[in-house]
Amino acid sequence: MNAFVTRFAPSPTGLLHLGHAYSAWTAHDAARSAGGKLILRIEDIDRTRCKAAFEQAIYEDLAWLGLTWEPPPRRQSDHFDGYTQALEKLRDKGVVYRCFKTRKEIADEIARAPHLTPDGPEGPQYVGAMLAAHEERSLLAEGAAFAWRLDTSHAVRIAEKTTAGPLTFTEEGAGPKGEHGTIMATPEIFGDPVIARKDSGTSYHLASVYDDAHQGVTHIIRGEDLFPATHLHRLLQAMLDLPAPIYRHHRLITDETGKRFAKRDHAVTIKALRESGETHSSLRRRVGLA
């Protein structure tokens, strides 16, 4: 058994940029120095935004960056059954509820009482409620679409009873405010997040937590923008009886003006850099890696 397993988990929704190169290299270097392995996961549950051409570009970019990973890469779209089973487990524990509301209904509700929904990592900390059984039955009979939301406070209570104390996670890198060491998990910052979307039946959070455990990931190395998600992931691990990996969040690579790269900004892509004649060693130096 490998004592150190980490992963790089890009979403094929655009071309990878310098920030991805840094993240992939950081994970790769850590695996190498620990004598462990790097695995690649294609996070493509969003079937409308993910494109086969971007997945192909990921393989080409990573090969050019000099990265190797344990084959085969795991494609999340091949594992919807597993995510459904994980959702069933959450249903069995009574920590999720159906939410039939549309985006507009939720936005209107929030606008009526904004003080009840301060902003969290994914927008307002919306907290809904399970409908009365007869209301739910009639909506289901009408074929109304619904998402599954996590009943966060209920789940936290169960988790704390099970662990006989507050939930924590181990951060060996640093969060955006320098958070390091044993961190108290505060998943309440998400309100009651959608755990299974109306369209895909899962979410980034559920699929990622499930996959990390099923792929035996011991160390999660990723950008500090995902540090807040860890609070929720820790709670999902506890609810799904999955092991808690160790986290190493890393700094984000920014452009000359201090702005972080993002796919939507048409930031400097690895493909463009490659085509402009950059070498991978000059790129490594540019992002501060030897």
Nearer to ligand GLU, 10 or 128 (CB): 10
Q: Which is nearer to ligand GLU, 98 or 233 (CB)?
A: 233
Token pair for 58: 């990921």
Closer CB to ligand GLU, residue 128 or residue 223? 223
State how far the Cα of 20 lies from the Cα of 257, in Å rounded to an integer: 18
Q: Write down the least CB distance from residue 275 to ligand GLU, Å.
A: 22
d(CA 255, CA 110): 35
Under DSSP, is residue 246 helix (H, G, I), strand (E, B) or coil? strand
What CA–CA distance (Å, rounded) separates 130 from 151?
9
- 3-state secondary structure (DSSP) of residue 147: strand
CB atoms within 10 A of CB 40: 22
Shortest CB 81 distance to ligand GLU, Å: 20
Q: Report, in Å, the least distance between residue 91 CB and ligand GLU.
A: 24
| Smaller CB separation from ligand GLU, 226 or 232 | 226
What type of residue is 81?
D
Q: Which is nearer to ligand GLU, 128 or 193 (CB)?
A: 193
The residues of the shown chain that bind ligand GLU, judged by CB under 6 A, are: 9-11, 43, 208, 222, 226
Residues with Cβ within 8 Å of residue 200, at least 6 apart in sequence? 45, 46, 47, 80
To ligand GLU, the closest distance from the beta carbon of 101 in angstroms equals 26
For the bound state, the minimum distance from the C-beta of residue 221 to ligand GLU, rounded and expressed in Å, comes to: 8
Task: State how beta strands 96-99 and 147-150 pair.
Answer: antiparallel
